[in-house]
Structures are given as structure tokens and as C-alpha cells.
Amino acid sequence: MTTIYILWLRQLKRYIRSKPRIIASLGQPLLYLFGFGFGFGPVFQKAGQGNYIQFLAPGMIGMTILFTSIFSGIELLFDRQFGFLKEMLVAPQPRLLLMIGRTLGGATTAIFQGTIVIVICVIAGFRPASLSALPMAFAFMVLVAILFTALGTTIACVLTDMQGFQMIMGFLIMPIFFLSGALFPLKGLPTAMQILTRIDPLTYGVDGLRGAMNGTSNFGMGFDLLVLGGIALVFMAIGARQFSRIEA
Amino acid sequence: MIKVEHLTKTFGEIKAVRDVSFQVGTGEIFAFLGPNGAGKTTTIKMLTTLLRPTSGTIEIDGLDPAHQQNEVRKRFGIVFQDPSLDDELTAFENLDLHGALYHVPRKVRTERGESLLKLFELWDRRNDPVKQFSGGMRRRLEIARGLLHTPKVIFLDEPTLGLDPQTRNQLWAQVKKLNEEERVTVFLTTHYMDEADRVAHRVAIIDHGTIVAQGTPAELKQQTNSETLEQAFLALTGSSIRDEGADSNRDLRNMAAMWRGRK
Ligand SMILES: Nc1ncnc2c1ncn2[C@@H]1O[C@H](COP(=O)(O)OP(=O)(O)OP(=O)(O)O)[C@@H](O)[C@H]1O
Ligand SMILES: [Mg+2]
């Protein structure tokens, strides 16, 4: 338990101390909300889809958690570069605990970041359907955060340097974001796209968040929870396996 | 304390360590010397569970690092050739994290952390983030950290690399003091022969993955008719410069260092 706690705490300290990073990572949701949200809002409304900010906000929360989690997982690459990884690997600790501590720490920072975005969304005019829905929304945030931190960790175990990172960003992370329905409704898409959106784990996160915050879920929140929980477990398992194999 | 027999490690074609055997007694200061690429770091990695030997046997305090990993890990401390601190954390936090990972009770962690920080003259800077530390301060902190869990053996892989003579002398004085007071066995590597001569009880010289000589510094000097250990070293290993194989991690670190420097 101490092991998990101490590594969790380390991630948190690193997060709180990197204020530039916190601010920088809020730029993107701000841009989408204010630029996209207000620019695109009237069109969206005319198309009969209702208030765009209301639609967009859960997507932005999902997006922020996606990026923050993936990055905190990939931070493992920095640990490798700056050498701290070796310190962890020679410690008399099961690798599984090290991995869990790191992942929970990264996920916690992503949830913080998501919470800040909720506040920003509310300032931009977003109104959750009811306050009682917030615990449910929180559950989705936790699952999405854990899932993608574990994915980021797995990626970092496989990559050995930062060069592969651009590729992962372009061919994995951005598609996950765009295909999740964070920006547009997933209706009336061509079949191929439809399938891709269904494979994308973030789709269920965004759908669940919309269900909890707006009362409009496509798949049903129970189903979303189940899918996310399942994938999160699988990713944790894969991440732990990869982490137990890395050599210094 | 350390017993190595017929240890071999190959990376694909490269034979980094070939049939190396040696022993280090409890409380001894043992210097493992050799030119660049001789196989020193590779040997240390095998001793410290980071690499599996291709063949041969290792015993640390009677245990086998390949099979009793965690038991062995509790018994040694290590200062890696490359930096391994968390830059964002303070000196104290780095120590504390280490202590927690090594199951050191909080109270002991704080007390021993304090005495080590004082010994290595970092106590006044304990709450500063490590990224504000100079190379010498980082190195001292790493040694303090390696000793925090009161290991039986400490591995020091080029601990004085890049330090000024004052810091180097002081650092060895501190290591010697701990060796005498706590009987911690010290396994060190360095490229400064005068340091090895002054500090080490016994020396092994490794070249191209094989041990070419072992003994006390005096014995090695006598054996080669040399005045200094450096002359003995050159007599034993020749004066040609070693080709260094590319080390991807090293390139990475250089890149990272450049990148950080530019910021
Ligand atoms: N992971 C690896 N893959 C392939 N070759 C390696 C690897 N690690 C080390 N080597 C090779 O093994 C040899 C011994 O390297 P090692 O790092 O042990 O030398 P060293 O004695 O510590 O040298 P230095 O004084 O420069 O630190 C070198 O030829 C090196 O290129
Ligand atoms: Mg070396």
C-alpha cells in the first residue's frame, strides 16, 4: 500500500509543480469551447441538434482527460531518459505495485484537469442537467482516466525514445479523440466510420458523460460503464505485463 | 559478500563480459577498473538484478540475484553511472521516496535521512528541488540515497565523474568514513586511478570483458614495476583507445541534456 501511495504522491507532486503544463493543457479545451463552440453553435442549432456548448462540454472533459492521462503514462519515457526509472527498477518491489501507483497517480492528475475543464465549461454557459448526476459523471471520469493512463504507460514501455511519440500522437491519440463523438454526434456516419467509432474506447466515455450530465446517452450508461471498466482492466493488465518486462 | 564465478554476458555479437570471476569480502572497498567499454557497468548491472547473466553464477550475501531478486535488492544500494534522481522532487523527497520503496519505517527514514544529508553537506538544501542542484550535489545526494536503507553493499559506478578535485576528495572521505563506521562493503568503478589507489583495499582490472589482474594496489604496482597505479593500469591494458559501441540510451541522454541546455 505504501508503495502505491508513495508513487501516486510523486505523480501528484510533479503535476502540481509543473504549472506551465497545467495551463498549457487547458489551452486546447478553451480553444474548442470558445472558438469552435461559439463559432459552430448557430449551425448546430439550425441543424436541430440543440445547444452546442451543452453538447460539446462532456466531449471537452473527455478530451482533456484523454490527453492528460496519455501524457502522464508516457511520462515514463522521461523517467527513462532522466534515469529515475532505474531507481524504481532496482527497488525491492513487485513491478505490479509500481505500475499501479504510477497509473493511479497519473489518473488522479487527469481527473483534476477534467474538473478544471468542467468549471470552464460552466463559465462558458454549460449547465449539467442535475447535480445528482455528478457522481455518475465522476465515475466515468475515473474510468476514462485509468484506461488511458494505462494505455500511455503501455506505449511508453514499448517505445524506447521520444521519436515514436509523434507517430503515436498522429495515428492513435488524435483519431481516438476525433472518432469519439466529442465534437460531433455519431449519427448518420458511413458504416466504416461507424465501426471505427464503436471501437474507440473514448466513445463510451463521452457517451457516458453526456448521459450523466445531459441525460442523453446513446448506448445507456450501464453499458458504457461496463465497456469502459472492461477495457480499463484489460489495459491495466497489458500495461503491467509490459512494465514488468522493461529493462533499464 | 560478493562472489562471482565464470560470469559472461553477450549482447548479440558483442561479448561484453567474458568468464569473469572474483570475490569481495565483507567490509572491503573493491575497485573495478578498466578502459571505456571494458564491461564494468554491464557487470554491475548483472550484480544488481538489472541484467540477467548469459552464463556464470553470482552470489550477493549468499543469495542469487537472478532468482532472489527482491531479497538481493534489499541488501545493496547503487549509484548508477548516469543520473537517476527525480529532478522535480526535493532532496528530502527523493530520499523519502527511496526509503518508502525500501520498506524503511518513516521514523528511521527521517532520522537516517537527516544524518546522511548532514554528512554529505546537503542538509541546508534539503527542501530545494534537485533541478537546482549542481553536478556534485546531485552525486552526493545519490550516494546518500543509496545508503539510506543501510545496505550491506554499495555499488558506485563512476561516482566522481565530472566532479572537481575538492568534491572528489571529500566524497571519498565520506565513503571511507561510512565504510569504517558501518562496515558497508563498497564496490566502485572510476577512471581516476589515484582515487582507486587511495581508497580501495583491493583492485581488479578488466579489459575487453576479461579480468587481466587482481590484487591490492601495491601488489599491482609491484607486479608491473610501476610507480603509480595509473602506470600499472596502462601497462596492463595497453595505451590504445577503445572503440566504444553505440549505446542508444547514452545518445538519448545526450540529446535530452542538449535539449534541456537549450531551454
Ligand atoms: N544494452 C547493450 N546492448 C548492446 N551492447 C551493450 C549494451 N550495454 C553495453 N554494451 C556493450 O558492452 C560493452 C561493455 O559496456 P559497459 O557499459 O559495461 O562498459 P564500461 O566498462 O562500463 O565502460 P565505461 O567506462 O565507458 O562506462 C561495450 O562494448 C558496450 O557497447
Ligand atoms: Mg560504465
What are the tens digits of pLDDT across the range B14-28?
999 999 999 999 999
Whole-number Å distance between alpha carbons of A219 and B210: 66
pLDDT greater at residue A195 or residue A24: A195
Q: Are strands B185-189 and B153-157 parallel, antiparallel or unpaired?
A: parallel
What are the tens digits of pLDDT across the range B79-116?
999 999 999 999 999 999 999 999 999 999 999 999 99
ipTM of the complex: 0.88
Residues with CB under 6 A from ligand 1: B 11, 14, 16, 34, 36-42, 81, 245, 247
**How many Å lie between the alpha carbon of A18 and the closest alpha carbon of chain B?**
9
Task: Please choose from B247, B251, B252 the residue to mutate so as to test ligand 1's pocket, defined by most ligand atoms within 8 A of CB.
Answer: B247
In this complex, the residue of B84, B100, B256 whose CB is nearest that of residue A87 is B84
Query: Which pLDDT belongs to residue A60?
Result: 94
Q: Which positions in chain B touch A161 (Cβ < 8 Å)?
A: 248, 252
pLDDT greater than 90 at residue A212: yes
Q: In sequence order, what are the beta bridge partners of B7?
A: B20
What is the percent of chain B where pLDDT is above 70?
91
Measured between CB atoms, does B254 come within 8 Å of chain A? no
* Residues A90, B48: C-beta atoms closer than 8 Å: yes
Four-way CATH pick for B2-81+153-262: 3.30.1600.10, 3.40.50.2300, 3.30.1370.10, 3.40.50.300: 3.40.50.300
* φ, ψ for residue B28, nearest 5 deg: -85, 150
Domain regions of chain B by residue span = 2-81+153-262
pLDDT greater than 50 at residue B198: yes
Domain housing A104:
2-245
Read off the pTM: 0.88
Query: Which pLDDT belongs to residue B251?
Result: 55
Query: Which pLDDT belongs to residue B248?
Result: 53
**Which atom of ligand 1 has the smallest separation from the CA of B245?**
31
pLDDT greater than 60 at residue B130: yes
Q: Report the separation in Å between the CA atom of B36 and the middle of ligand 1, taken as the mean of its atom positions.
A: 8
How is residue B92 written as a grid cell? 528530502
pLDDT averaged over every residue in chain B: 91
Q: Report the separation in Å between the CA atom of B219 and the middle of ligand 1, taken as the mean of its atom positions.
A: 28
pLDDT greater than 90 at residue B156: yes
